[in-house]
Chains A and B, each alone.
Chain A
Amino acid sequence: NAGVTQTPKFQVLKTGQSMTLQCAQDMNHNSMYWYRQDPGMGLRLIYYSASEGTTDKGEVPNGYNVSRLNKREFSLRLESAAPSQTSVYFCASSEGTGGPSYEQYFGPGTRLTVT
């Protein structure tokens, strides 16, 4: 049982390049999330998917797009990377689809640098 996996672990991009961060979970969870963490900060929600087939914006969605490919996979795309998107990106999943929230399970993170 791998939990939540993310690829790649590290990535360096030039300004204007695009890339997709991959996330998969094997816990049959309904909800999946993308967060970013900047130095000395807590996590901020970028996008989330409460169930397969739905996605919604979080606190900081600008510059990102997401795809809930199936129940297991939730990808985050940067269409035109900017230095302000240098951050550590975490994917998470949780069991519930509504009502009070459940604990979230986090992946190991992707450290992205945009030069």
Chain B
Amino acid sequence: SQQGEEDPQALSIQEGENATMNCSYKTSINNLQWYRQNSGRGLVHLILIRSNEREKHSGRLRVTLDTSKKSSSLLITASRAADTASYFCATDAGGGADGLTFGKGTHLIIQP
């Protein structure tokens, strides 16, 4: 079963605007990760936030985690056409090597 659920399923914005996507999950987690997938390609890791962290930054990415609400958000600032991709959250609830549980993803389109 899918642990994470991203919202919205699809998002279209103008280049330069900020994009926010959300992820909700069902059970307690050790950490939460965000991945990007360009069309027809494999997934690329963006950022990992541990359950005892509330916010993390990486370049134009900002991730928040609220374990009390079982939710996370990914903010991409000053979006670029190259940010067009699907974005997935993934959770790790068990042992670290046990694999991740992915949501269905948010498809982000950046209009030039």
Contact = CB atoms under 8 A, between A and B. Distances in A.
B42 A41 contact: no
Interface residues of B, number: 28
A98 B95 CA distance: 6
A89 B45 CA distance: 17
B1 interface: yes
B97 A103 contact: no
B23 to A, nearest CB: 11
Nearest to A105: B45
A42 B31 contact: no
B42 A50 contact: no
Identify the interface centre among B43, B48, B92: most chain A CB within 10 Å of its CB: B43
A86 interface: no
B101 interface: yes
Given A42-B2, A101-B30, A58 B99 contact: yes
A102 B97 CA distance: 8
A30 B88 contact: no
Given A100-B96, A101-B97, A42 B30 contact: no
B42 A51 contact: no
Interface of B: 1-2, 4, 30-31, 33, 40-45, 48, 50, 88, 90, 92, 95-105
Interface of A: 4, 30-31, 33, 35, 40-45, 48, 50-51, 56, 58-59, 90, 92, 94, 96-109
Given A100-B30, A103-B48, 9 more contacts: A31-B97, A35-B102, A41-B104, A59-B1, A96-B96, A101-B30, A101-B92, A102-B48, A104-B45
